[in-house]
Amino acid sequence: MKRLTLLLRIAANVLPLAAALLCCLFAAGLTAQDMPLSDVLIDGEGWTVVADGYGFTDGAATDVEGNFYFSDVSKGDTINKISVDGKLSVFAEQATRISGLQFGPDGKLYACQAGNPGKILAFDQAGKQTVIAENVQPNDLVVTAKGGIYFTETGKAQVTYIAPGQEPVAAGTGPSKPNGIALSPDQETLAVSDYGGENVWVWRIAPDGKLEFSQPYMTMRLSGAEQPSKGDGMATDAAGRYYVTSAVGLQMFDPTGRLCGVILPPQAKPLVSVEFSGPQLSYLYVCCGDKIYRRKTKSKGLLYFEKPE
């Protein structure tokens, strides 16, 4: 992951064309070490249903204890919680049209709410909501350890940034339909999936939170030559691997941007959101249509709200 950060720093200080060439050359040279799916998946362990009967599940998130959170968009309009011991409860009611969810360093659960106007919300531990920003078109978001919020606005084809206590500002462009969003373990790189294209884009995060030097760094597998990737929700593990939900399944990339493989979806319904959660953050949870699934892995997730090591 430090290699990618260094790569982006170098690229940010040279001419755009030379920067692009540097990215290609360095990326090609950093692929010597394989990180196959077998490094993550456990033989004999498959997807298991942990919650069902919903309209459309989305917004996968986890807290520090490994409790899993998700939204029910089209049926209950709720944010729900699956505790580490498997108990299911409603965390917040009247949570309409919630797509992205992530906890912040203040212990609040931040959310993207679609609508006219769209909003960025924060829910306290009691499930009470506060408006952080409105008149936006948010799809998915991440919250850094410094309290900065990055979110995708798919309709505007941009990434937007909210510095702590500030108003939203346009921060980055590149993907045709920016959707899922994730951070590197050191929080010096931001990655965004393109629902309408074939790439995951990355930016270097400057010390002041601004995004610098965008590049289409990862190439997703497509279901057909003329089909979009439908790249959606994203997550990162402690080893710096990126996980992206898509039309063909859950795609895994190593820190250099190389595709390691595709984990097949648990059912033939939209696979839209992913997060590591559960005991030791060692379970992959996915929102897939009307159900929540999980599977045990050899890997471990990241808590973006914690200060990077």
Tell whether 305 is covered by a domain. no
246 near 196, Cβ under 8 Å? Answer: no
- Residue 304 in domain: no
Helix axes 2-12 and 16-29, enclosed angle (nearest 10): 160
Give the pLDDT confidence score for residue 227 in this predicted structure. 86
Asked whether the beta carbons of 246 and 268 are under 8 A apart, the reply is: no
pLDDT at 19: 41
Q: Is 0.85 topped by the overall pTM? A: yes
**Does residue 279 belong to any structural domain of this protein?**
yes
pLDDT value, residue 30: 41
The two tokens of residue 264 are 């097949």
- The enclosing domain of 247 has a CATH number of 2.120.10.30
CA nearest 56: which of 269, 264, 235, 243? 269
Give residue-wise pLDDT tens across range 257-283.
999 999 999 999 999 999 999 999 999
- Residue ranges for the chain with pLDDT beneath 50: 10-32
Does residue 302 lie in a domain region?
no
Q: What's the pLDDT score for residue 168?
A: 98
Domain holding 195, by residue range, is 2-296
Range list of H helices, the chain = 2-12, 16-29
Length of the chain: 309
Whether 83 is covered by a domain: the verdict is yes
3-state secondary structure of 224: coil
Spatial CA neighbour of 139 closest among 101, 92, 165: 101
Cβ-based neighbours of 107, under 8 Å, separated by 6 or more: 124, 125
Give how many domains the chain has, as a whole number. 1
Q: Is the link from the previous residue into 105 a cis peptide, with omega within 30 of 0? A: no
What span, in angstroms and rounded, lies between the C-alpha atoms of 133 and 109? 14
- 3-state SS, residue 26: helix
**57: Cβ contacts below 8 Å, ≥ 6 apart:** 51, 70, 71, 72, 73, 272, 273, 287, 288, 289, 290, 291, 292
309 falls within a domain = no
- Taking alpha carbons only, the member of 39, 12, 56, 18 closest to residue 240 is 39
* Cα 32 to Cα 193: distance, rounded to the nearest angstrom: 24
Q: Distance of CA 197 to CAs 194, 235, 265, 298, 306, Å?
A: 5, 19, 20, 30, 32
Measured CA to CA, the distance from residue 19 to residue 24 in angstroms comes to: 9
Residue 303 lies in a domain: no
